[in-house]
Structure 1
Amino acid sequence: MRIHLSSVFVDDQEKALRFYTDVLGFVKKHDVPLGGADRWLTVVSPEAPDGTELLLEPSGHRAVGPYKTALVEDGIPATSFAVDDVPAEFERLRALGVRFTQEPTEMGPVTTAVLDDTCGNLIQLVHSK
């Protein structure tokens, strides 16, 4: 068994697509209209184009707003992305105007940082030694 798909709820799919591709560096995998403004919109790592997909899921369901608000208020990331060098990625993204809620922090065998994805989520960057 493998993880095939994970999702993050986004306030605006087009804005999310720009952020996750142009800023974070993911690549669009699927973009299928679902009727209305919603799309089945996924991105993948360019390092693993056939790997796990991230669905940029519309935030329309009534449970999503309170869920996302509670996570952000408590500083809890919606998901986590592995990087090779958290401080270097922090500097690269900060230079692109990304807002971080947590600068690179060493916690034993891992280093993390947390960013705001501009679509209502906190995202953790992590590297394990």
Structure 2
Amino acid sequence: MSKTVIGTGIRQVNLVCLPTPDLDTVISFYESLGFEKRTDVPMGDKYRWVEVYPPEGATGIALAPPREGTEATPAETGIILTTDDIDATHAEFKARGVDVDAEVARMGDPVPPMFWFRDPTGHSLMVVENTGQG
């Protein structure tokens, strides 16, 4: 069975990009959480393009300087990461000194347990427990 591509031809999300002024600090941060740096190449005369991926993920996070003339303003990214054990992941983030919510939020079914954390730029990402529903 072949897939029919309709419209633009877009078929998947490959990367999400976070503007990051201090690449080396943010790379180290994501690597400390188990992400793998798969790309680190020059971009123009004075910048770098970096991609980090979770160990089993096909979608990565691109880290690049903000567009010229703009600043990297901390943002709620909308990026959601999954874990099989939310409590263990939350405890590990806290032990590593990550800026993480004080508690895991538990809103009841069908919403999975979750927490937010902030990277060194101040960008917020969410971690949710993989409950197998969906």
With normalisation by structure 1, the TM-score equals 0.79
Against the structure 1 CA distance between its residues 44 and 5, is the aligned structure 2 distance closer, same or farther, given a 3 Å change threshold? same
Cα RMSD (Å): 2.0
Measured in 2, the distance between the counterparts of 1:103 and 1:34 equals 39
Residue of structure 1 in register with 2:124 after alignment? 122
Residue 3 of structure 1 contacts residue 52 of structure 1 at CA under 8 Å; is this kept in 2?
Answer: yes
Residue 15 of structure 1 contacts residue 119 of structure 1 at CA under 8 Å; is this kept in 2?
Answer: no
Matches within 5 A, 1:9-48: 9-22=19-32, 24-48=33-57
Instruction: Answer yes or no: is 1:5 the counterpart of 2:15.
Output: yes
Q: What is the CA deviation profile of residues 75-128 of structure 1, one whole-angstrom value per residue up to 9, with x for unaligned ones?
A: x45422111121110101111111213521112331111112112211111124
Runs of 4+ residues over 3 Å off in structure 1: 60-65
With normalisation by structure 2, the TM-score equals 0.76
Gaps of 5+ in 1: none
Q: What is the CA deviation profile of residues 43-63 of structure 1, one whole-angstrom value per residue up to 9, with x for unaligned ones?
A: 112224xx1121012234445
Against the structure 1 CA distance between its residues 34 and 91, is the aligned structure 2 distance closer, same or farther, given a 3 Å change threshold? same
Q: Which amino acid aligns with 1:103?
A: E
Residue 102 of structure 1 contacts residue 115 of structure 1 at CA under 8 Å; is this kept in 2?
Answer: no
- Greater fraction of residues in strand: 1
Measured in 2, the distance between the counterparts of 1:42 and 1:7 equals 9
Gaps of 5+ in 2: 1-10
Matches within 5 A, 1:30-109: 30-48=39-57, 51-62=58-69, 65=72, 68-69=73-74, 71=75, 76-101=76-101, 103-108=103-108, 109=110
Name the count of aligned residue pairs: 119
Identity of aligned pairs, percent? 28
